[in-house]
Amino acid sequence: MSSSSAASLLDVALRPGAPPTLDVEHIDAPPSWAAGHRDALRALVMEHGSLLIRGLGLAEPAGTAAVFRELTGELMAEKEPFAPRPAYSPGVYSSTPWPPYQPMCMHHELSYTLEFPGLMLFACLTPPAGGGVTGVADAAAVLAALPPDLVDRFERDGWQLVRCYNEEIGASVGETFGTDDRRAIERYCRDNAIEYAWQPDGGLRTRQRRSAVIRHPLTGLRCWFNQIAFLNEWTIEPEIREYLVDLYGADGLPFTTRFGNGDPIGEDVVQLLNDVYEAQTAREPWQAGDLLLVDNIRTAHSREAFDGPREVVVGMGDPIRLADCAPTVEVRTR
């Protein structure tokens, strides 16, 4: 039976404003079930861009990790993180320790790296008391909804991620690069098309220019693929941004994004991007045991603010090279 035929046997609910949802019941061995339905589930993710599977009863990290491994060809380690997060096992992490009261707006995981996950896997072990939804948004629909002149500029120039590392906020240099050895860090930067400059105080400033629009390597679909809004200074809460500017200066923020030629991205552009994302967002409150599969190129994801404890396990699978996605700006490594 082909994967498309197998997928047709799974009854997926399509509801406006919610991700495609598959309800399952009485699954005694989730890893075995995942292995038996792998091709069908992957076909559904390819068709819809995301899939929420409800009823698996995932309750602890080890069993969840086993399900992840059955559904992806390869789990990859996180690279260049913004905030270090505990690993339950190789390639299986807790969700990013972003403050609960601050939402994480739409983004594509590790879109600033030269190799990023093709598949994101999220499992809810403990749902929050309120909020905390992992929203999804179709990247092709977002691209189509953006002003053509803005898309043209980002296609032509790409986008820049600028990071200024310090020991107080976010991941340190050692946590980001896996070493404090300067020569090893410099070698990594050269190999990954990252411009770097050591600062007089011993800190590090980096810049990396990437494509904002790429093509899905399997379908050829053009997708808005980046973290321009999420990592821009204008997405930060105003009082926090003011504090950071006072502390580090306008050019020393821990992170921000720019147009590919280095021009600042205005607050109006960031607001426009977030408004378009919001108009395209599908969301469904987490329930204990849920599994959400997301095509990381086809679909952006977010995390809303929440109350109470929230435990979501994250896996990053199916590594994809930027070079295989028809990037629109040249990336030069050494």
Span 124-134, pLDDT tens digits: 999 999 999 99
The answer to whether the beta carbons of residues 283 and 17 sit under 8 Å apart is yes
Task: Please report whether residue 135 resides in a domain.
Answer: no
Extract the tokens encoding 147.
Answer: 């002003």
Nearest to 288, CA basis, from 315, 310, 316:
310
Residues 169 and 239 in one domain: yes
Residues 92 and 178 in one domain: no
Collapsing DSSP to helix, strand or coil, 268 comes out as helix
Whole-angstrom CA distances from 97 to 68, 222, 227 are 21, 31, 18
Residues 240 and 293 in one domain: no
* Domain with 200 in it: 141-274
Cross-strand pairs, 224: 213
Whole-angstrom CA distances from 193 to 186, 190, 197, 324, 333 are 11, 5, 13, 16, 5
pLDDT band at residue 73 using 50, 70 and 90 as cut-offs:
confident
Number of structural domains (the chain) is: 2
Phi-psi region of 68 (alpha: psi -120 to 50; beta: other; left: phi over 0): alpha
CATH number for the domain harbouring residue 215: 3.60.130.10
Q: In this predicted model, what pLDDT tens digit does every residue of 286-307 receive, in sequence order?
A: 999 999 999 999 999 999 999 9
Task: Please report whether residue 330 resides in a domain.
Answer: no
How much is the pTM?
0.95
Residues 236 and 300 in one domain: no
Task: Please report whether residue 279 resides in a domain.
Answer: no
pLDDT beyond 60 at 183? yes
pLDDT, position 214: 98
Residues 186 and 256 in one domain: yes
pLDDT beyond 60 at 270? yes
pLDDT band at residue 8 using 50, 70 and 90 as cut-offs:
low
Question: Which residues touch 293 (CB under 8 Å, ≥6 apart)?
Answer: 41, 45, 50, 51, 53, 71, 119, 120, 121, 122
In what order do the strands lie in the sheet containing 104-107?
Answer: 104-107, 299-303, 136-138, 281-282
pLDDT band at residue 55 using 50, 70 and 90 as cut-offs:
very high
Q: Beta-carbon neighbour count of residue 66 at 10 Å?
A: 18
Residue with tokens 């296609």: 155
pLDDT, position 2: 47
Residues 307 and 224 in one domain: no
Nearest to 315, CA basis, from 145, 32, 63:
63
The answer to whether the beta carbons of residues 227 and 207 sit under 8 Å apart is no
DSSP string, 275-319: HHHHHHEE-----TT-EEEEETTTEEEEE--EES--EEEEEEEEE
Residues 188 and 246 in one domain: yes
Residues 269 and 296 in one domain: no
Task: Please report whether residue 59 resides in a domain.
Answer: yes
Residues 257 and 297 in one domain: no
CA dist 286 and 67 (Å) reads: 18
The answer to whether the beta carbons of residues 65 and 88 sit under 8 Å apart is yes
Task: Please report whether residue 110 resides in a domain.
Answer: no
Mean pLDDT of the chain: 94
Phi-psi region of 254 (alpha: psi -120 to 50; beta: other; left: phi over 0): alpha
